[in-house]
Structure 1
Amino acid sequence: MSLVQKSPNDDVIVCLVEKSETPGGVKLVDTKSTHKSSPSDLVDLAKQIQKGNEFVKANTVNQLTVIAEQIRQLQKQARKVLEKSHQDTMLHQAACNMVKKPGTIYYLYQRPSGQNYLSIISPQEWGDSCSNRYLGGFRLEFDQSWTPMEKIQQRESEINLMEKIIQRYNTESAESGITLDILTGSSKEPMKEILAISDQCEET
């Protein structure tokens, strides 16, 4: 049975190895001297245990903090996804007398009756003759999502960047001889080329 002793200085519990009069089948001459421990030994052991506990606690807190931040970011992204879904659904359900074509900017208006409708005529083209409330301009994308006019340039920049990365990857893949076998893992060739391309893209 293991020995449990309390440190003289604090409440840290020190567990000592259980005593045995015949360790390994050999009988000890003086078991008391062999298993004797001084108070200073207990203090040192207690300090080591306490230090280990503090590190475990600190590491646990750090990891939980990172997870909590990731959860907050995921919740933030989830809200954005839901808001975007609500916007796109509202625009698709708005009244419209024409077949909507991707790449076209449509302007959302609201009649005094509360009906929302889409038009290809901008507020500038209407001038003072439009009595309906203007709610915003949106471009219909090829994936049937909608991009507000004020975010079109940002979306174009993001798409151009992604296209450059894909083009660069395809070019360097061809020059490096990266094949489908390598990508699927059926080849024994190392993946150094792919990792190098990824690092270069991150640097740029």
Structure 2
Amino acid sequence: MATKKKKIEKRPDLVVYDENKERYDAAFRPYATSVGAPQITLPNNGTWKNSQIYKANKHLKAKYQAIKAEYDALIEIMEYNELVTNAKFTFEPLIGETYHLYNNSKQEPFLSIIAPDSCSFEYLGSFRLTSDYLWEKVKQNDGTTISKL
């Protein structure tokens, strides 16, 4: 069984010949094929990439700092809640009312409705019970909230 092989003609590297279509197709290529053609250069994306990386890192850092600030605020609220909840008090606190936290003579915290200027115990802070049953620290003189989400 004899197979018929085509004789492959050796062409110079400069010649663009398509073996499948059996034709010269330099004119059909999307790129230059002659030595005298303009040089093919890739665009320099380095500066664009660097600026995008810089912008992305700035955005992510800002987002991280915002999340960290929110986390720190939550930790602070949790610590205030733990402090006030573990204090001694003999009444049921009402939502929206401001209460004052003191240390007694045994350095045990207790919650009171008595204002700091009318009490001789060590003053620890004033707190308001929110509708979510969380204690938020308030300034004693004008009643504005210090820590709030």
Identity %: 15
**Structure 1 stretches of 4+ moved >6 Å:** none
The CA RMSD measured in Å over matched residues stands at 3.1
Q: What TM-score do the two structures reach when normalised by structure 1?
A: 0.52
Q: 1:54 to 1:39 in 2, by over 3 A?
A: farther
Q: 1:88 to 1:37 in 2, by over 3 A?
A: farther
1:72 aligns with 2:65: yes
Task: Report the number of matched residues.
Answer: 127
C-alpha deviation, 1:109, in angstroms = 0.4
The structure 1 residue matched to 2:116, chosen from 112, 119, 123, is 123
C-alpha deviation, 1:63, in angstroms = 1.3
Q: Distance in 1 between matches of 2:116 and 2:26?
A: 101
Cα offsets for 1:76-99 (capped at 9, x unmatched): 211111111111121111110111
Unaligned runs of 5+ in 1: 1-18, 159-204
Q: What TM-score do the two structures reach when normalised by structure 2?
A: 0.69
Q: What SS class does the counterpart of residue 144 from structure 2 fall into?
A: helix
C-alpha deviation, 1:152, in angstroms = 4.2
1:143 aligns with 2:135: no
Structure exhibiting the larger radius of gyration computed from Cα positions: 2
C-alpha deviation, 1:153, in angstroms = 3.5
Unaligned runs of 5+ in 2: 1-14
The structure 2 residue matched to 1:98, chosen from 91, 102, 121, is 91
Q: 1:39 to 1:91 in 2, by over 3 A?
A: farther
Q: 1:20 to 1:67 in 2, by over 3 A?
A: farther
Cα offsets for 1:6-52 (capped at 9, x unmatched): xxxxxxxxxxxxx9621882511779xx622459614xx14x2x2x2
Q: 1:89 to 1:38 in 2, by over 3 A?
A: farther
Q: 1:146 to 1:61 in 2, by over 3 A?
A: same
Paired residue type of 1:142: S
1:153 aligns with 2:135: no
- Whose helix fraction is larger, Structure 1's or Structure 2's? 1
Which has the higher relative contact order, 1 or 2, with Cα contacts under 8 A spaced 6 or more apart?
A: 2
**What does residue 77 of structure 2 align with?**
84
Q: 1:147 to 1:30 in 2, by over 3 A?
A: closer
Cα offsets for 1:58-115 (capped at 9, x unmatched): 2122112211221122112111111111111211111101112212211100023220
Alignment of 1:15-94 (within 5 A): 21-22=17-18, 25=21, 27-28=23-24, 35-37=33-35, 41-42=39-40, 45-46=41-42, 48=43, 50=44, 52-94=45-87
Paired residue type of 1:141: T
Q: 1:109 to 1:76 in 2, by over 3 A?
A: same
Q: Distance in 2 between matches of 1:88 and 1:94?
A: 10
